């Protein structure tokens, strides 16, 4: 055990019962250092397999994941209290391996091509960062731990992942699937522990990918800058939806209620504030509240409703503060509006608020719950100003006639914008056909998880310039 770092057993709370029913021993620093050394030693052989060889190993791993799917789904369900999303998390692995294998084949191809100088040919060559560290949050524990790891592996990197201590149950069954594929097991490692282990991981790697809060992301980015290693961050959000004149209100309310309450609103790209043209406002609020009321809490079983418990208990305090602050400043709560306790778990029914403004925390701070505050605007310039009045810039949505909606979207300081839908971007992760996106402002820094270039975050690039002329070059000294 490393001096000064003697981690105690970590206890994990079940979000449905409120009881501690899982415990694990965190990875100590000596073990982390050994894992990093082993992964570095194994990485050259992994790189030497080539893209097709690496894709074949990952495809074999997918078959192990499929075989272990019931255990993985049960583990994620126990940690998050949700069932449908847990199925989707496990299913994502196959989808992402397939998509990113295709991208890797084309994006990392290396062929000689002509340049503007007829004598000189150019060929790109790629050198992966040997060891990538991934630090991930609790809200989609399995998916977010692998979202960057899979493209990094395909690029030829070795990867160490430190998921959140809040939702760690999937790690054990997932490590068993990795162990069943020895070629992968040498270059893909999970370590278990709390924030200090994440900080220690940053010290060991050549590149870090961080998904989580802006507060922690900033610390990780500062340390990465000090170590002079690249740091990809995707952080918090306060995604706006704008509903323009001419929008289909039935479509807009269904998309928004889904985008705001999926996973109980515990998503970085949840719709968290809604701006509606004043002429549509009252009808919109009435329809949204009706649809919000129709969404039932997933009780008594995870399969029984759309709205799961709050996964991370301290989040309830933030949501309660947003409710009381809004109510004290004159907001109207149309439905929901309180934290409920059932069987030891903390729950929040979908909540629609109106008469809100930007003096209220519910319009400016990340709530991370199924909250839908609605504010009226008079013209699109005001809607754009309000949507951009945020420290965050992750994603958002615009509803209305397509040309009008696109014109508004172009003025928003956001990376992924759904037009006449909400939360489309995550469905295109690793999809070569989607455009690239980056986060704006405090929502993150770095390349894109979407689009054909998404894999190139993990490689350093070389330009090999070949002069085929037999004559002296024009820029040489005459010696």
Give me the active site residues, please.
Answer: 234, 268
13-52 binders of ligand NDP (CB under 6 A): none
Selected binder of ligand NDP within 73, 144, 146, 445 (CB under 6 A): 144
Selected binder of ligand NDP within 98, 102, 186, 213 (CB under 6 A): 213
Radius of gyration of the chain (CA): 24
Selected binder of ligand NDP within 26, 198, 393, 396 (CB under 6 A): 198
Query: Rounded to the nearest whole angstrom, what is the least distance from the CB of residue 394 to ligand NDP in the complex?
Result: 6
Q: Which residue is nearest to ligand NDP (CB)?
A: 198
Query: Rounded to the nearest whole angstrom, what is the least distance from the CB of residue 190 to ligand NDP in the complex?
Result: 12
136 near 162, Cβ under 8 Å? yes
State the Cα–Cα distance between residues 54 and 59, nearest whole angstrom. 9
For ligand NDP, the closer of residues 79 and 366 by Cβ is: 366
Cα–Cα nearest to 135, from 172, 165, 156, 158: 165
Cα–Cα nearest to 74, from 114, 113, 112, 22: 22
**Of 110-118, 138-146, 175-183, 335-343: span binding ligand NDP (CB under 6 A):** 138-146
**Of 25-33, 130-138, 150-158, 289-297: span binding ligand NDP (CB under 6 A):** 130-138
Does 138 sit near ligand NDP (CB under 6 A)?
yes
Selected binder of ligand NDP within 47, 187, 394, 405 (CB under 6 A): 394
State the Cα–Cα distance between residues 149 and 70, nearest whole angstrom. 22
Does 199 sit near ligand NDP (CB under 6 A)?
yes
Selected binder of ligand NDP within 93, 142, 191, 220 (CB under 6 A): 220
Selected binder of ligand NDP within 136, 177, 253, 354 (CB under 6 A): 136
Does 396 sit near ligand NDP (CB under 6 A)?
no
Site string for ligand NDP, 237-276 (x = CB under 6 A): x------------------------------x--------
For ligand NDP, the closer of residues 83 and 162 by Cβ is: 162
Does 224 sit near ligand NDP (CB under 6 A)?
no
Tokens of 218: 């900033």
Binding region for ligand NDP (CB under 6 A): 135-139, 144, 162-166, 194-195, 198-199, 211-213, 216, 219-220, 234-237, 268, 366, 394, 444
């Amino acid at each position: 055990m490393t001096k000064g770092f003697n981690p105690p057993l970590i206890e994990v709370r079940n979000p449905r019962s409120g009881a501690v029913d899982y415990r694990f021993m965190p990875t100590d620093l000596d073990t982390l250092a050994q894992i990093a050394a082993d992964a570095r030693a194994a990485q050259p052989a992994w790189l030497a397999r080539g893209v097709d060889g690496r894709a074949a190993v990952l495809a074999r791993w997918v078959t192990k994941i499929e075989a272990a799917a019931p255990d993985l789904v049960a583990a994620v369900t126990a940690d998050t209290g949700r069932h449908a999303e847990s199925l989707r998390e496990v299913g994502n692995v196959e989808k992402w391996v397939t998509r990113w294998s295709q991208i890797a084949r084309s994006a990392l191809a290396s062929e000689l091509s002509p340049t503007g100088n007829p004598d000189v040919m150019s060929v790109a060559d790629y050198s992966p960062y040997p060891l990538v560290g991934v630090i991930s949050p609790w809200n989609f524990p399995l998916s977010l731990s692998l979202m960057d790891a899979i493209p990094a592996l395909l690029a030829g990197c070795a990867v160490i992942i430190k998921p959140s201590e809040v939702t760690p149950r999937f790690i054990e069954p997932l490590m068993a699937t990795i162990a069943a594929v020895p070629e992968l097991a040498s270059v893909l490692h999970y370590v278990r522990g709390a924030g200090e282990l994440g900080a220690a991981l940053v010290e060991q790697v050549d590149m870090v990918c961080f998904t989580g809060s802006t507060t922690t992301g900033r610390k990780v980015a500062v340390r990465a800058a000090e170590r002079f290693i690249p740091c990809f961050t995707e952080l918090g959000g306060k995604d706006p939806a704008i509903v323009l004149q001419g929008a289909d209100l039935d479509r807009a309310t269904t998309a928004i209620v889904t985008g705001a309450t999926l996973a109980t609103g515990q998503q970085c790209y949840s719709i968290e504030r809604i701006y509606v043209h004043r002429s549509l406002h009252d009808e919109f609020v009435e329809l949204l509240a009706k649809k919000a009321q129709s969404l039932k809490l997933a009780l008594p079983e995870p399969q029984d409703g759309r709205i799961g418990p709050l996964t991370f208990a301290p989040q309830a305090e933030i949501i309660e503060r947003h409710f009381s602050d809004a109510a004290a400043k004159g907001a109207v709560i149309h439905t929901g509006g309180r934290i409920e306790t059932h069987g030891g778990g903390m729950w929040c029914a979908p909540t629609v608020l109106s008469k809100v403004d930007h003096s209220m925390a519910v319009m400016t701070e990340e709530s991370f719950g199924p909250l839908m505050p609605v504010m009226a605007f008079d013209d699109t310039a005001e809607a754009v100003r309000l949507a951009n009045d945020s420290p965050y810039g992750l994603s958002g949505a615009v509803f209305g006639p397509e040309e009008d909606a696109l014109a508004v979207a172009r003025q928003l300081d956001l990376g992924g914008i759904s037009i006449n839908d909400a939360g489309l971007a995550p469905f295109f992760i690793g999809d070569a056909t989607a455009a690239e996106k980056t986060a704006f402002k405090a929502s993150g820094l770095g390349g894109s998880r979407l689009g054909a270039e998404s894999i190139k975050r993990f490689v350093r690039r070389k330009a090999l310039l070949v002069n085929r002329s037999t004559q002296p070059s024009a820029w040489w000294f005459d010696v």
